[in-house]
Structure 1
Amino acid sequence: MDPDRNPETPAGRRRLFLIAVRDYPDEGDDFRAGIDAQITAASTWWADKDALGDRAFSIDAAAKIHSREDLDDFIRDTGLRRAGAGDVLVVHLTGHGERGQSGTHRLIMPGGDPRRPDRDAYPTGDLISAALSSDAGQVLIIVNACYAKAVQADVLRVAQDLPRHRREHATLAVIATVDADDRPRDREFATLLDRVHAQLCTTAGIAAEHLTLEEFLTELTRAALQDPGQPLAVPHRVWETWRTRYPMRSLPNPGYRPPADLAGPQRRQVAADATELDYWLDRASGRPDHDPGWYFTGRADLNRATARFLTGDGGVLIVTGSAGSGKSAVIARAVTLSDPDVLARPRYARAAQAAPPGTLPPPGAVDVALLARNTDSVDLLTRLVTALGEQPRPAPDHGDPGQHLREQITEIISARFAGTGRPVTVVVDGLDEATRPTRLVADLLGPLARLATPAGVHLVRLLVGVRSSTPHHALPAAEFDTLLDLLQRATAAPPGNVLRTDTDGVYDDLATYAETLLAAGDGPYAGDDEAVRAARTETAAVIAARVQPSFLDTRLAAGHLRGRLTRQPLDDPAWLASLTDATIGQLRLDLRDNATDDYPVAHLTGVLRAAAFALGAGIPWADIWPAMTEAVLDTTLPDADGLIGHVLSGRLGGYLVSDVEDGRTVYRLVHERLAEVLRQDLLPHRQVEGA
């Protein structure tokens, strides 16, 4: 876990102080409604227990503030000045304000004499001082009043009087919603908070539990300028301490979704994070997006060979096949079903119990599981060191960083073997998706395979997944065959240790997979009626015969049918052609079925194509995905965010997986084959729309 993104701080109270000065003699209905909207918006953001859980704040709301004495009583009665070091405070202040002749800011009191603000108005700096001078470890003050930024002079005076340790060690910030010569409009800041709340739950994609001040202000600015015809006031930072550059517990992220804690500590060390564990579970289960079922029930011979290898004395096992033929499923099944903590969960325990004899790897068989997608050799070497439980040592100034990391890995693995007497199991999937696969073979996989004792005993058990073309077919994937050949030679893998997932015998497994997918859910193929079972079996057989050896295309075809209201006629030429067209055909059907007048096929395709061109872990939403989509389509979209949301919320969302990179949620195609299809110049609109 990144300490900067998820800081560990002392436990204390989270308190939201809602100070709304109202009941002015001349206030109208719009002003009262605006105050109510602010209270609702702030309460939703900071105090919604259902959404925030233990990040929710308790509310201290001022009942009636008519005089200076009332506000002083509120400060005293709530203990604002006496907040403890572990407390987190958010002070939301709204009401009429003015700037005095001395430049200080004052809150107008409803019960005061408008001719004597010097006596009856409340010095805003006194309220700010009460919060900043407390011992609370984190304080955020939001001033939403006329001439709000005029509080800057008061804040600077208060800050100068704070002790040095308070300025250096507390996380303190003050925000003004309007400038020193401006007045907020009714409902303006409430509208802004609501917009930002919605952004953080969708387009912003910030994955952390809490926001930095910079992230909060950036999203406020983006929301304020959302409608160029009617811009809202952009809030101002008034003052802050340096610690606001880190996530603040005073700014809970409403878009945060805690990862499923599926594995125990041992497995969490193997997988880089919960997102990576989700990768293995998705591939191992063969489940569509948001579906907890377990559908891969065949592949017994391949699974048995893999399990046997994982109980052996080391060496190399290569799992290979054409795109979509289930390489990752075989590998990921071994990774997932060797984790005792995952097996403790009922749905995975059921999968293990139903497994044919000899197909389960022993618990704890896999030590490290790495994904090679979009990584280079130094990246993967670094991740391997970390996954083995060590910190990468700094490389010498003029040395080869890869060699330096290999030496450290050799030391770690040798020490482990000396202590346990068994080889360390390393899994690397998606070799062909690395940035430079051949370098990865030379820099990492070959050296790992050659690690041995002086007596020739292997120190590593290496399991690698790599794409290759189907035997006896045309050779559009010759580059992958060259990579497979290089991998075999570099690791000295014997022919018997190369498992293919695309042999002629795959038909039965595909048919079983399709039938199981069709039976799930509430679609027209679910149920135990004899006629339903017969239709399911016959449909699955047609799918398997047309798409073999692709599990990816089987999943897409069956997923499309089980979402229908009626069964698919098996003699429909268009449907049969879509199966023959494999991935392209299924994508065409789903694009057609999800298109609307507002979101036509071409635009839906553009969203997916933009994700296909993304590097790294995927494409972030925010401003990037809309801009990429418009660039791919070479047009300006009237509602790019709505278009992306339409894709993610429907069946097309199943073509994408989410990940986290640099603290942001990113999206990529669920399979590299889909990305390849969408990146091809010949596919885009004409080929996809041509159904």
Structure 2
Amino acid sequence: MSSVPRDGGAGENGGPRRFLIATSIASYSKSPGWNRPSLVEARDQIIELFTGKLGYQHETALGLNPTKAQLSDQLRAFSKSPDRREDDLLAVYVSGHGEVLDGDEHVLLMADTDPDDIDYTALPTAELARAILRGTPVRRLLLVLDTCYSGRGGNDTAASALKRISAEWGQATESGLVIVSSAQPHQQAQAGLFPRLLSDAVGNRATAGHGPRALPVDMVVKQMNAHPSLPKYQRISLAMVGLTGQVPEFFANPRYGTWLADVDLAIQEAAEFDEQARLRDTELTRRLLVHAMGYPSDVAEGWWFCGRHTVLADLAKWLRPPDADGHDCQVVTAGPGSGKTAVLGLIAALAHPERRRTVPVGSLGLTPSLVPDAGAVDVAIYAQNLTDMDVLNALAAAARVRANTVGELLKALEARAGERPFTALIDALDEAATPDTLCTQILRPLIKYSEGRIRLLLGTRPDLLDSLGIRPTNDVDSGRIIDLDDSHYADPEALTAYTVRTLIEAQPDSPYRRRPEALRPVAEAVAAAAGPSFLVARIAASTLAAAEDVVADPQDPVWRASLPCHAGQAMREDLVSRLGNDAQRAADLLRPLALAQGQGLPWEDIWALAASAISGRSYTDDDVVWLRGAAGSYVVEATEAGRSAYRLYHQALAEHLRDGIDTQAAHTAVSEILTARVPYLTDGTREWARAHPYTLNHLAAHAAAAGRLDKVLGDTEYLVHATTRSLTAHLQHARGDTARLTAAVYRTSAGFHSTDTASARRQVLALDAARAGATALWRQLIDHIPEGHWTPLWATGSGFVPALRDTLNGHSGSVWAVACTNLDGAPVAVTGDEGGVVRVWDLRDGSPVGQPLTGHTGPVRAVACTNLDGAPVAVTADDGVARVWDLRSGSSIGPAVTGHSGSVRAVACTNLDGAPVAVTGGKGGVVRVWDLRDGSPVGQP
């Protein structure tokens, strides 16, 4: 028995090996008008999918843009190799242009095809089967044709293969040819769409849960055809030829596995919840609370918050137990610097059971109607740099539940029935890692399907309102929006008062301490120029306060015209005014902080080097010390992983400092510095165990932004020691084949890496690498496993994740009908048994959803699922009766549908002239159509 497979996806006695040959014809030497550069990326996506999630080894000899002879010869050479075995699984992917000649023969246009002689120079698609199958050991072939009219190509190939199969394959076990075509015989295929459809189908839990070892090919195709991105004119087709037994397992199930006992999950959950609570407390104290207090960082800590009583009153009222008409979502929006985070930070502090005691309610003029109840907010999240899953995990942890999807979270929150809704405050949506998907895929579904289970108080800039599904022009939606720049909420008096305090206290030698008569007029002029922006007013006032012997003339039109209106302008003018020729020096030193991740950039041996590398000018720690004194008001000190971290006071300042620079080159400089600071071991490798915490937490983010993640992933000891949560979020940016395979191996057990020790993580990574056939990665990992620790020598199978349950247990008798759908984003199965009971199951963990649906008096023989006026419903049928069920509430809708004289054996749902209908068939050969809204018959039987 060999220790590791020489090639393919499994050892010699560990199941079939998996091989992929993928090519795209994207460039045509004799017809440049046919060129399709996007097909290169399509091929890359297929390679990533098959080598990552599906456990295939990519054969690279063919490459891109083969000629007619090269494609045939390479396929033939691989298939005839003495190393081929009958149990090998071979997947061949071809994308490019396809044509149908003379109305009946499909051909592939190759790189050397002559447009004036297509008949002779193109490759008949049927030749693919002959090249691979005739006289070779290959018995299990998956052929994927991603071309126009490829359904005809699939038919031609199937017909050609039939002759060869019947003569040569005999009774070989689980043999067969499976052909997946991206278009029906008379359809054109949308370029580049097929790989995404296939990847989503493989990743969709509705295709298969944790139990099956392989994904059924027909179910994969069905999910592709159900994908909302598939044009109506295009359908994916499937042909299966010469099957001898089971369909070969071409699509390994990436979710298959049976790890973890319940007690392990409980312990892991508790640790994760506690860690999330610590992260949220850090965000509250270091982000939200700092903005709420509003004091410049270079003066003594204190509460500078002014006014804003109108918005505070509205938010405090909304946070109290809602009435029947209360919105489940309230959005606070404004332009940069208008105090959005200050308002939400104050609300978070006042709602916190302990922190509220630190807020000087009296001196801030806060009456009881402006103060939310203690505990009114269950969690406060500052979304800057957070991924979609970070936010979802934070919400789930605060609710003390485990949820990997929006649907799972909503379902878990149902257990709080009778309590007040779970309430979350989430600020800085526009600063999240992926703002659009955070809004459209996480928050918008939570808002839409809340049904009183969760309430969201959100802070964002206005451009994300549409992504949240909230439109100011809609009367209902307008009630959800609090725009701090609107005259109703702007509070210019509060802005003027804040400016007055800044003019006096921002500098100990401020000239406005000695000229009280000029104080308010100057403050009003600054506030008027700043518009609604407290940030601009603060910077401008700080600049004026720093001019020790000069008091501005508020009546001077030239001076008033020079006042800044935007944060970047205010910052630039402030630095020039106060620092003169050193303004560039300050900007250079501040710029690395505009790239900082997490709580901020470390000073230690990193900050000054980054400033030097980005600017091209030499800086040292002495310069950083100077900056802290000269422009310290722009910098906030925080802590992360027990170390000091530094960031800019406001995101608008970071945007200004990033403007006009090559950010990719800047991130490259930071990632190189972080890597260079990792010490070496005596064998010449880096000792990642001693790397700075910032490096382990955020190197992946900088490397991904620099386009250098592949290089970082090449160091296996970095994988062992990197922070899992941060690394996993950026693995999608791996580009090369080796890096993408490494990323796939890492993802396989990412859930365990987050809690494993470095030693255990190394062993699990080595095991997953062996399973995936990533031999080089496996060898590097086992070379670092200490003597005396278990070491994986070989492993079988492909990617896997824990499965919580293999079967759905609950029916007391035979199950006669099954259908699948999505319920609030979660894939579910609806099953009916011989006792007339219908049950709904969450396919992710096998748990029942709601109570059994009862009402049928006979065996449930048919089930179908659809949407009725936006609600997911199931239509079930027994002996002569069909019923409609609301899958959310479990209640029946309308009267039972009657009319069949015998048992109903089949149900299907569709839309007829805009009306939802069910089509039922049963004994006696009668088919009936019913209007699902009222159960009335449509037309004649």
TM-score by length of 1: 0.50
One-letter amino acid of the counterpart of residue 652, structure 2: R
Tell me by how many angstroms 1:533 deviates.
Answer: 3.7
1:338 matched to 2:351? The reply is yes
1:226-265 correspondence runs (5 A): none
Match of 1:316 in 2: 329
Equivalenced residues, count:
380
1:368 matched to 2:379? The reply is yes
Q: Within 1, Cα distance between the matches of 2:540 and 2:275?
A: 33
**C-alpha distance after superposition, 1:195-250 (max 9, x if no partner):** xxxxxxxxxxxxxxxxxxxxxxxxxxxxxxxxxxxxxxxxxxxxxxxxxxxxxxxx
Q: Within 2, Cα distance between the matches of 1:646 and 1:524?
A: 21
Q: Select the structure that is richer in helix.
A: 1
Q: Within 2, Cα distance between the matches of 1:328 and 1:412?
A: 30
Match of 2:281 in 1: 273
Q: Within 2, Cα distance between the matches of 1:269 and 1:627?
A: 34
Match of 1:272, SS? helix
1:456-475 correspondence runs (5 A): 456=451, 458-468=452-462
One-letter amino acid of the counterpart of residue 299, structure 1: R
Q: Within 2, Cα distance between the matches of 1:335 and 1:551?
A: 20
Pick closer, same or farther for the CA change 1:462–1:629 going to 2, 3 Å: same
**C-alpha distance after superposition, 1:282-318 (max 9, x if no partner):** 2112221153322222222111111111114251001
Match of 1:542 in 2: 525
1:287 matched to 2:295? The reply is yes
User: Could you tell me whether the CA contact under 8 Å between 1:317 and 1:462 is conserved in 2?
Assistant: yes
Match of 1:433 in 2: 431
One-letter amino acid of the counterpart of residue 638, structure 2: D
User: Could you tell me whether the CA contact under 8 Å between 1:520 and 1:526 is conserved in 2?
Assistant: no
Match of 1:115 in 2: none
1:591 matched to 2:575? The reply is yes
Match of 2:613 in 1: 631
Pick closer, same or farther for the CA change 1:438–1:490 going to 2, 3 Å: farther
Pick closer, same or farther for the CA change 1:275–1:659 going to 2, 3 Å: farther
One-letter amino acid of the counterpart of residue 460, structure 2: V
Match of 2:47 in 1: none
Pick closer, same or farther for the CA change 1:334–1:635 going to 2, 3 Å: same
Q: Structure 1: any 5+ residue segments left out of the alignment?
A: 1-264, 394-401, 469-479, 685-691
Q: Within 2, Cα distance between the matches of 1:450 and 1:584?
A: 37
One-letter amino acid of the counterpart of residue 414, structure 2: S
User: Could you tell me whether the CA contact under 8 Å between 1:620 and 1:667 is conserved in 2?
Assistant: yes
User: Structure 1 residue aligned with 2:360, among 317, 330, 348?
Assistant: 348
1:383 matched to 2:394? The reply is yes
User: Could you tell me whether the CA contact under 8 Å between 1:578 and 1:589 is conserved in 2?
Assistant: no
User: Structure 2 residue aligned with 1:494, among 454, 477, 480?
Assistant: 477
Tell me by how many angstroms 1:277 deviates.
Answer: 1.6
1:671 matched to 2:650? The reply is yes
User: Structure 1 residue aligned with 2:441, among 440, 443, 463?
Assistant: 443
Match of 1:304 in 2: 313
User: Could you tell me whether the CA contact under 8 Å between 1:525 and 1:562 is conserved in 2?
Assistant: yes
Pick closer, same or farther for the CA change 1:332–1:601 going to 2, 3 Å: same
User: Structure 1 residue aligned with 2:626, among 646, 652, 660?
Assistant: 646
TM-score by length of 2: 0.37
One-letter amino acid of the counterpart of residue 315, structure 1: D
User: Structure 1 residue aligned with 2:591, among 584, 609, 616?
Assistant: 609
Question: Among the aligned pairs, what percent are the same residue?
Answer: 30
Q: Within 2, Cα distance between the matches of 1:350 and 1:567?
A: 35
One-letter amino acid of the counterpart of residue 609, structure 2: A
Q: Within 2, Cα distance between the matches of 1:583 and 1:589?
A: 10
Match of 1:554 in 2: 537
One-letter amino acid of the counterpart of residue 579, structure 1: L
Tell me by how many angstroms 1:363 deviates.
Answer: 1.7
**C-alpha distance after superposition, 1:605-655 (max 9, x if no partner):** 101112112334322222322222112211233xx21111211234x1221
User: Could you tell me whether the CA contact under 8 Å between 1:515 and 1:540 is conserved in 2?
Assistant: yes
User: Could you tell me whether the CA contact under 8 Å between 2:546 and 2:578 is conserved in 1?
Assistant: no
Pick closer, same or farther for the CA change 1:302–1:443 going to 2, 3 Å: same
Tell me by how many angstroms 1:577 deviates.
Answer: 5.2
**C-alpha distance after superposition, 1:486-536 (max 9, x if no partner):** 213499972111011112454333112212333447444676xxx844322
Match of 1:655 in 2: 634
Match of 2:81 in 1: none
The structure that has the greater radius of gyration is 2
Match of 1:487, SS? coil
Match of 1:318, SS? strand
**C-alpha distance after superposition, 1:94-130 (max 9, x if no partner):** xxxxxxxxxxxxxxxxxxxxxxxxxxxxxxxxxxxxx
Pick closer, same or farther for the CA change 1:666–1:515 going to 2, 3 Å: same
Q: Within 1, Cα distance between the matches of 2:661 and 2:279?
A: 37
Q: Within 1, Cα distance between the matches of 2:503 and 2:662?
A: 28
Q: Within 2, Cα distance between the matches of 1:359 and 1:536?
A: 29
Q: Within 2, Cα distance between the matches of 1:623 and 1:266?
A: 32
One-letter amino acid of the counterpart of residue 289, structure 2: L
Tell me by how many angstroms 1:447 deviates.
Answer: 2.8
Pick closer, same or farther for the CA change 1:442–1:581 going to 2, 3 Å: closer
Pick closer, same or farther for the CA change 1:344–1:266 going to 2, 3 Å: farther
Q: Within 1, Cα distance between the matches of 2:427 and 2:357?
A: 25
Q: Within 2, Cα distance between the matches of 1:524 and 1:653?
A: 17
One-letter amino acid of the counterpart of residue 409, structure 1: L
Provide the alpha-carbon RMSD of the alignment: 3.3
Q: Within 2, Cα distance between the matches of 1:525 and 1:272?
A: 41
Q: Within 2, Cα distance between the matches of 1:330 and 1:617?
A: 21
Pick closer, same or farther for the CA change 1:559–1:580 going to 2, 3 Å: closer
